[in-house]
Chain A
């Protein structure tokens, strides 16, 4: 002790300072095994997440002949996304966007109410790091054994343990990377092809990529990903407020810390300074220092502390999920309260309902056919020898069904006009032309509309193309599969 000088060391030891680096290398974290409520919850979430990730591609879903029978499949070449009963075409990618927006809003709401729930329990980085740590603990032992092993010089036993650990990590990483490609091709097929060396180069490339990233991020980088790489914790702060649940050290109860032997002293806090909260922490912080950006809110320090509290015969919950508002209320001697209804929770809930409703409407209102009309621009119109005017249109009819469809095309808005579908047939205003559309394909029609000069009121007349369902048994088609407005142009009078 030198009187608590705050001057930097270099200025104090003036003459010959040792060269020092500004780079602080990572202090390796050796979290100890924890048992308790949150640990059990974490194991459960981990199991569910991994089960879903590895098993989902193998789940089958019958879509009839000719269609893939994989429940969740993103067919890049198709190009379609199959999500159980939902079949998404490229132009409906907004549905996936909607799902992502919904997921984001869900995390917003969860963060506002329960803090970094995502970070501590469900984030893949947390899940896989947890899994890798469990493997590490199984092979190399718990915290103390691992610290000893790290310090120990290399020998046969250490080498064997290290090799076993990395081998196990690589196997898990490979399973992770390998499972990724199952989502993009028929799982049994690609799995067979993969091991026979027949899969596409992309399959091997992505497997290698995700094997490497899993091994690096979950095995080596771990908490550094959360602390330095991930942007989410940085802007997550804007979703939290003093009413959000966060892992908190109840300092008013714990302080002043006294080792448990002296605990009989009056005025001492409940904290026995056993450092079990710190040794359990997977990101290597001391929660008693207050809220820290590194904390992922996993709750392991709570479990760890509770074990000690029960042993020393004190009430558990010295570290707990609590809100900063409640904590400050206790400090001030007021009654602590949870506050669930806050502007931000209301806004997020309303947004979630809104986006869900929008998604539901767009999913339910999906059509089985689409009609796009492109009016010829050159020539804008053609004068006919009988004095009439003709316009040309290119119609794209998309049949999204899996079988050949018979449609009837009608044009309305020009009484007395003729409708000609090139090479297919002729009709008139309101009088349909029937045609076939190939399954899951776009049929292109050249359409001419000719109108006598007399019916044209001005140089631009709005007309409507209607695509009607005309199955084999349907005599007069009335159900509109798609409708598109366009115009009919004529020279100015």
Chain B
């Protein structure tokens, strides 16, 4: 506490009683405008605390909350999109791509829906990964027309949905259907379908095994069959890898890649948007 309060001779003001090397500090009161602004802000703060959620677990009198505001924004956004979503839903899937307005919507909405739901496995932009098909190329396991893509996305592959696409490649090695040598021969034959081979005799032996065991699904020349998800074997695209070791493993153990039925998780319009979006990634037929 200041002890020596005295009046300053020059200004006529009180001093604070503090002194440093003979210099005394004037006790200048806070400016009025400052003080009243300060009081006003206290009043404001009290009113604000009552009106808005300021304390834990207690909502404000206005009933406002950030979550509520977010929900309102989302609802508003949904309402804003509703007419387009309705149009998407009522347009046949193979007609959507001919409507530039719908496609603009599909590109925007599809991008986010794809990133949220599909990109985890299929990669951003449908780049694909080992075991997860590239969606931007011109090679389709289950067909690349808009209808086929809609079917695939809607009901998925090898899952519990009744409509799910089913196709089973036997475990030729693990179940003892083919011997090691036969598998090696078939691998030589299959590799030679897309690249010039090196071992003619092994390929010939493999051709016989292929005709007997594989051609039913993959076709005589390995052209594949989208009806049962049998991969095309005569092109440069390999889902699990096109080297001999991977191929031998594929033949020996089979492949059972699976995809969820997205109609169980997403609304029909979104599934349609995703189908049109994937079709437009570059590989659509």
B-binding residues in A (CB < 8 A)? 10, 16-17, 19-20, 376-380, 382-387, 390, 392, 422-423, 446, 448
Contacts and interface: CB of A to CB of B under 8 A. Distances in A.
Contact of B125 (A16, A378, A386, A448): A378
A17 B8 CA distance: 10
A16 B137 CA distance: 98
Given A10-B10, A19-B10, A392-B136, A382 B235 contact: no
A378 B134 CA distance: 11
A446 B136 CA distance: 13
Please indicate which of the listed interface residues A385, A386, A390 has the most CB atoms of chain B within 10 Å of its own CB: A385
A21 to B, nearest CB: 8
Given A384-B138, A385-B139, A446 B280 contact: yes
Given A17-B9, A379-B123, A385-B237, 17 more contacts: A20-B10, A20-B11, A378-B123, A378-B124, A379-B126, A379-B127, A379-B134, A382-B136, A382-B282, A382-B283, A384-B138, A384-B237, A387-B236, A390-B137, A392-B136, A422-B280, A423-B98
B100 interface: yes
Contacts, number: 65
A17 B136 CA distance: 91
A390 B103 CA distance: 22
Contacts of B176: none
A447 to B, nearest CB: 10
Contact of B236 (A10, A386, A392): A386
Interface string B118-154: 0000011111100000101111000000000000000
B10 to A, nearest CB: 6
B100 A423 contact: yes
A392 B282 contact: yes
A446 B100 CA distance: 12
A380 B134 CA distance: 12
A448 B127 CA distance: 15
Nearest to A453: B236
A19 B235 contact: no
A24 to B, nearest CB: 16
B139 to A, nearest CB: 5
Please indicate which of the listed interface residues A383, A392, A423, A448 has the most CB atoms of chain B within 10 Å of its own CB: A383
Given A390-B282, A423-B97, A448-B282, A382 B137 contact: yes
Contacts of B139: 384-385
A470 B48 CA distance: 63
B232 interface: yes
A385 to B, nearest CB: 4
Contacts of B11: 19-20
B56 interface: no
Contact of A379 (B12, B128, B236): B128
Contacts of A383: 134, 137, 236-237
A206 B209 CA distance: 86
A43 B128 CA distance: 76
Nearest to A391: B282
A10 B8 CA distance: 13
Interface in B74-111: 97-98, 100, 103
A117 to B, nearest CB: 41
Q: How large is the interface on B (under 10, 10 to 19, 20 to 34, 35 or more residues)?
A: 20 to 34
A392 B134 CA distance: 14
> Do most interface residues of chain B lie in helix, strand or loop, or is the interface mixed?
loop
Contacts of B235: 385-387
B10 A385 contact: no
A385 B237 CA distance: 6
A423 B101 CA distance: 12
Interface string B9-21: 1111100000000
12 contacts: A378-B125, A382-B136, A385-B139, A385-B232, A385-B236, A386-B236, A387-B236, A390-B282, A392-B136, A392-B282, A423-B98, A423-B100
A386 B232 CA distance: 12
Given A19-B11, A379-B125, A422-B280, A384 B97 contact: no
B12 A19 contact: yes
B137 A384 contact: yes
A385 B13 CA distance: 93
Nearest to B195: A387
A382 to B, nearest CB: 5
A380 B11 CA distance: 78
B10 A17 contact: yes
B10 A423 contact: no
Nearest to A17: B10
A363 B64 CA distance: 53
Nearest to A15: B9
Nearest to A379: B127
B115 to A, nearest CB: 10
A423 B96 CA distance: 12
B12 to A, nearest CB: 4
A140 to B, nearest CB: 33
Contacts of A17: 9-10
Given A379-B123, A379-B127, A379-B128, A385 B137 contact: yes
A382 B123 contact: no
A20 B11 CA distance: 6
Interface string B180-220: 00000000000000000000000000000000000000000
Nearest to B103: A423
Contacts of A392: 125, 136, 282
Contacts of B127: 378-380, 382
B102 to A, nearest CB: 11
A378 to B, nearest CB: 4
Nearest to A448: B282
Contacts of B103: 423
A377 B10 CA distance: 76
B110 to A, nearest CB: 12
A448 B138 CA distance: 12
Contacts of B283: 382
B246 to A, nearest CB: 16
A393 B214 CA distance: 39
A380 B136 CA distance: 11
Contacts of B98: 423
A4 B123 CA distance: 91
A384 B137 CA distance: 6
Nearest to A14: B9
Interface string B218-236: 0000000000000010011
Interface in B12-42: 12-13
A415 B124 CA distance: 30
Contacts of B282: 382, 390, 392, 448
A390 B283 CA distance: 10
Nearest to B283: A382
Interface string B137-177: 11100000000000000000000000000000000000000
